[in-house]
Amino acid sequence: MPVGTNQVVLTGPVPRHSLMTLSESECVQDEEEEGGMKKHLTPLERLSMNMCHDQKTVKELLVGSRVGFYLVRGQIGYGSFSKVKLAFHALTKDKVAIKVLDKTRLDAQSQRMLSREISSMEALQHPNVVRLYEVVETPSRMYLVLEYAGGGDLHTRITEGKLSDAVSKIVFAQILSAIKHLHDNNVIHRDLKAENVLFTCDACIKVADFGFSTRVKNRSDILDTFCGSPPYAAPELFRDDNYVGPPVDIWAMGVLLFFMVTGTMPFRADTINKLRCCILEGTYSIPTWVSAQCQRLIRGILRQEPAERCALDQMLGCEWLLPVEMSRPHPPLQLNPIYLVEADPGDLSEEEEEVKGHLEELGITMDRIDNNQGKGSRSAITGVYRILLHRAQRSRGAESLPIICGVVKDPKKDSLRTYRGLRHTSKFCAIA
């Protein structure tokens, strides 16, 4: 090659990188640096970066297959103004149920009901009540992120056959425990029915759907809105303009108990007007196969006058439930993660210490929590915290089932063993 020429002679195979332009080389270098940086990011930082820059993740957010930190899957239920979808938390990998509401379809009354629903659920923390983890809002949608109960609902279970006496005791005891917790916190459900009683895959009962619920200052406060399902409606809802909340829930519990042990409803009619007459007359017939103790409880609940109905404490001590050893709910824990920052050393429970460690592993530091305070359930940090806290509580037996400690005489089968066996059948366990 003559000296001074600019010609380059290539011998042998040419490496691809040697043929790149300068800008291409810089891009590769940037990608390599970004890849190296991602290795050092916490899970939270990596997820946040993907939500801003990853094309697939951004597209999922735009089309609604991802909501906040949740990957949305198929629909599992629906209501008048909402759909319920299965989802997974992108960081914790826990299953959740997301109630999706179209804000454009909500009038002023519906918006007030939604506000009351959120307020009611924020006040509750009980093993037999569905939990609210987080609220996500977009310009057109409202998303309530809820505990997922994958075992179906009580109505579907009963349509497959009435419950045995022993199974009814265990199910009703959990419903009773949940409603007592509601009323102790001045929350009235107002839509208690078999469709709103869910099973987990471990056969634990969960009272759900607080769309018609309300919080009162005192349990004797007067209410004036007719809510709920007519077959479960107390006579005063048809008779009066005003009513007191707790007896309405108690009446619905009586209807539920009748439905569980007989497989039929106590008041049946072809039209709402005829149903109204049946309920106001208060006439029903309990089959003879229902135990005498259960019959007495049903009659004690389904009384026309609200003040004469069994109180919740009376039910807890009734003869029919006497053999049932109720599981004691674990003490409620703080649902706001800021408590982890503000608590004095040594004040945190085992569950809270465990959750604190998991949060830091995910990249949710105490400084980040401190900077995020004031948002309540409308915070993604709160959502992660509540999911992990609930997981820690469950792992410590916070949702153990009641047991029958007395001898249950059943001439056909061991009802208690049947109930425990149902955990492993399709009647109680959802298909993942």
Catalytic residues: 191
Q: Is 10 exposed, middle or buried (0-12, 13-18, 19+ CB in 10 A)?
A: exposed
Residue for token digits 């759900």?
Answer: 208
For residues 80 and 74, what is the distance between their CA atoms, to the nearest angstrom? 18
Residue with token string 């009272």: 207
Distant-in-sequence, close-in-space partners of 317: CB < 8 Å, separation ≥ 6: none
Backbone phi and psi for residue 152, each to the nearest 5 degrees, phi listed first = 85, 180
- As given in the structure block, the two tokens for residue 2 are 């003559």
Nearest to 202 by CA among 178, 174, 179, 180: 174
Q: Could you give the CA distance from residue 256 to residue 259 in angstroms, rounded to a whole number?
A: 5
Q: Return the structure tokens found at 357.
A: 């460690």
Q: Which residues are annotated as a binding site for ATP?
A: 99
**Residue 71: strand pairing partners:** 66, 88
Residue 96 exposed, middle or buried by CB count within 10 Å (0-12, 13-18, 19+): buried
* Cα separation, 231 vs 250, whole angstroms: 14
